[in-house]
Structure 1
Amino acid sequence: MLKRLPSAFILCFVLLLGACSTTPASPPSVSDRHVVQRGETFYGIARKYGVSVPLLARYNPRVVPHRLQAGTELSIPVNKKEVAADRVPYTVQKGDTLSKLANHFAVSLSALKVSNPGIDYNRLKPGQKIWIPVRERTVTGFNWPLQNPRIFNGFGKKDWGLQKGVNLAAKKGQSVLASKGGTVSFAGEMRSLGKVVIIEHADEQQTVYASCETLKVKAGDKVQQRQIIGTVGFNTLINRYALHFQFRDRGTPLPPENYLPEI
């Protein structure tokens, strides 16, 4: 008959078994949201969740990857296999509304409704899957509207109300250049933005040049890339001479830093 083992030996044996059965740490569970922590990068977060940088950018079109700030909430794609060229799936989270999602994904409220027929737009339910009509944005051939541009305020640095863009440092009277060839759809005064030029480009894209001192074009004019369309004036948004510049895709302002050449 075996002798009774000391209790201390039995305890050590149990602990040893527990250590041997420990499995390696599993990758993070994929969720629909991620709050950026200090020191994290856009690339690192994409890698953490096993998604590509372009796909993560489609889910967060208003975020500037190289200027990621702690506390920013990112949407994370869960059903990667369901992503199509013209839409992406999204799982509704607590607190979501259709208007909030339209703003986050930079799509129109009407387009969001058309993509989700039969749902109660006023009562989204957490866990409910909806489709976001976010197409792959094709942006080519745009240049900055100033020689030797320098961003004074980047996109998202401050909320300018309905006017979302960047402010480019400039000298009084400096030439404003067309970012890309197109047709001038507006040239005139706008409240709080001074003299403004709006140019329509291919693929339902627009560029906006505000706080001009003088305008060199009129509505209906065809312009070539880098053609002088105005001169820089006093920017009342930041109380200095600077050009307020916007890039819009289907009418929605997006960060020019993501689509124009790196400064």
Structure 2
Amino acid sequence: MHSMSQKLKVHIQTLRDKVGAAWSKGREQAARLYGQAAEKGAQVAACTADKAGQMRDLAADKTAQALALAGDKGAQIYHLAAQKAAQGWSAAKVRGHQVRLAVARHPVSPLLYVTIVALAVGAVSFKGMYTRAYVLNVNGEDVALLSDEGELENIVSGVETRVARILGEEYDYEADISITPAFASAQELSDATAVEDNLFNSVGAIVEGYALCVDGEELGYAATEQELMALLDEIAAPYMDENTVRYDFAEDVDIYPVEIPSNTEMDLDKLRTQLTSSRVEEAYYTVEAGDTFNAVAYSLDMTPAELEALNPDVEPAKLWVGQQLTIQQAVPALSILTQSEVSYEQVVESPVEYIETADMYEGDTAVKERGADGLAQVTAQVSYLNGVEQSREVLSTDTIQEPTTTYIYKGTTPRPVTASKGYYIRPISGGTITSGFGYRYLFGSYSFHQGVDFASSYGTPIKAADGGTVTYAGWQGSYGKLVVITHDNGDKTYYAHCSSLDVSVGDKVYQGQVIARMGSTGNSTGNHVHFEIRVNGQPVNPMDYI
């Protein structure tokens, strides 16, 4: 608008200069005509007399010609011409006399008459060059030359309509507006469309800003690119440390300049909340008696690998009742990818060489000579997603200490069915756990329960949890009828409160073999089997092993 105002001021000054020039030119013409008037005034009388004489001579010649050509008709024409000539001569003498009298009475009047004539000529010329116009003033600045007053209303209405369309709400143009009559040439009149555009631009309905776009969706705006970059740095900061070399986003994130309505919200706090909120809330599953890791995964329509990825610190083979498993992970709206370059000491495991021997069963091993682990300095590039390691690429390895070899015996003799498999199964099929491992209130006092009670009907078969050798079979105080099996690794399993025993001391049993029948002997309140696992002589929670 400022440049247009300057241009208009130049136009108005040019108009004033042209009017002054026209006035000066008129005065010069008047002076020139005044000088000519005196000369012309003297010539008028002489000219009038000369003209009258010429007219008289001409009339005589014409009369003679007429008489010669037309006879009587020529005579008539002659008399008529003589009459007209006499009238013209009289009129000429009268007009000449009037002019001489006027000049004599008013010596300055010819200048006045000439001046009036010059002004009339100048006015006609000015009117031909210039037309009525109106100077549009907005907030104290001349901004346009309008051809008529009606243009202003159309211009203001156009501005209000365009601004309202952009802002999405009604808008009133409230500038201080005035118009002043003036004259301007057609070329100097302002184009109404251009004036409307300039006023619209001065309103500032559209402003320049920067958009933050995530996966093709503009989530928010800021006045500067630096503000959005700082916000992204802030969001990524919790996932970065002194080893981080760069960060990025799993989503397609872009920042670019945009033109937006001036009433567009630019709230960085709101945008921060949106970018750090989670799309899915975390959920958990509480382990119950009888659950296995795989069974829990399949019941939740997941694969064991997917469940394990959500629970990296959980050992699938060792669940306990009441343990919580993460089954649904909270995912932030903006996922952070980071790369770190780390340097650390890493143990280099002792290499192993196996020595076959027939003195051991197939699958069994024993260390003949244990070597020492080595040590290396490792530099690696580690990639993380929201702080969880995704991959690790070793960039260099420098040996600090060389490892030594470990020698292990490896059995070649086929394993008998009674050999231990190294894992345990439930001692009965089905049934209900009526008492777990740990402290409990029983018979009026608290005591530590060293096993797990599986209840079922009287006479239910009780099976060996793993292969081994029966090292006790008989009555054992509060246990009632008891079977103890010692397994190949030295662990022992106990089966108490039996109604009858199907094995004797020294028997070799295989995993799943029936060794007794359920009952309620010893300190018991109902039919069940009290099942224990003892490692290095100490009772452990059986549910961590089956």
TM-score by length of 1: 0.48
Larger strand fraction of residues? 2
Between the two structures, name the one with larger relative contact order (CA 8 Å, sep ≥ 6). 1
Larger radius of gyration: 2
Larger helix fraction of residues? 2
TM-score by length of 2: 0.26
